[in-house]
Amino acid sequence: MSKLTKRLHPDSKMPGVSAVDLKKAERALGVLFPDEYKDLFLQTNGAQFGEWSLYPISTKRTVSIDLVRHNEKRPAGLPDDLICIGENLTGDKLCYRIRKRFLQELVFRWNEKTGIAKYPSSSLKEFVDWHVPKRKTNQAYRLGRFTVESNELIVTDPYYGLEEDTDSQLILSNVKSGSWTAAIVYTKDEWVKQLLVFEGDKKRSGKWHRQEQPIGVD
């Protein structure tokens, strides 16, 4: 499952659910989830792979519309033996098929107009490998712009708060105030290889001016 979590969209990583939360969702739907699905949700509640988003599981700190609620409001024409586990930006559904309460590991794609796609994937990991584009290696992906108003810059995982003591947090001093742009370079396995910060903006100045050495975060 570690290979699947590496493919998560950086902004979609959330704290995982408990085994109790998974059991409650199973009882509400009257099904048993595949091990691959449960392993993923123990690590992160809901996930985004490219344009595909998995529905979250309800918890005490619950989210908007969870997996159970999505399946209570089923699209017209969706076969009774399918459970929707996610969707893409155009509304296509990602589904498991029910067989005697068990959800098969096969992953089906369903469209309101065309129905079930001809060839299912053998697992959720295979679906992601086949249908979600991988990031190109050694290419900087722009994260966005931010403003530095002091002489310090904090580099941290967004999962952690700024006050938490963690090895994943780095504080840079003597940083020039002003507008900066951040970018990330990935390895072929989609680990973060480098975090780059540049003064200014490519669109504004025509080129990036690197002020600091890249921060290796292998």
How much is the pLDDT for 218?
39
Judge contact between 120 and 106, C-beta under 8 A.
Answer: yes
How much is the pLDDT for 209?
39
Tokens matching residue 8: 């998560």
pTM score, two decimals?
Answer: 0.62
Tokens matching residue 85: 């586990």
**Residue that the structure tokens 């480098």 belong to:** 194
Examine the domain organization and report whether 90 and 150 are in the same domain: no
Lowest mean pLDDT among 1-5, 23-27, 45-49: 1-5
The pairing of strands 82-88 and 93-99 is antiparallel
Domain boundary among 131, 158, 176: 131
Listed in sequence order, the residues at least 6 apart from 173 whose beta carbon sits closer than 8 Å to its beta carbon are 151, 152
Could you tell me the residue range of the domain that residue 193 belongs to? 141-216
Which ranges of the chain does DSSP label H, i.e. alpha helix?
Answer: 2-5, 19-29, 35-43, 67-72, 124-131, 202-205
Judge contact between 17 and 41, C-beta under 8 A.
Answer: yes
Helix 19-29 and helix 35-43: axis angle, to 10°? 130
Model confidence pLDDT, tens digit, residues 18-40? 999 999 999 999 999 999 999 99
Question: Is there a domain that residue 136 lies in?
Answer: no
CATH number where 64 lies: 3.40.1580.10
Examine the domain organization and report whether 44 and 100 are in the same domain: yes
**Residue that the structure tokens 């001093």 belong to:** 173
Buried/exposed 131-157: b ≥16 CB within 10 Å, e otherwise? beeeeeeeebeeeeeeebeeeebeeee
Examine the domain organization and report whether 68 and 152 are in the same domain: no
Examine the domain organization and report whether 104 and 9 are in the same domain: yes
The DSSP letter of residue 32 is B
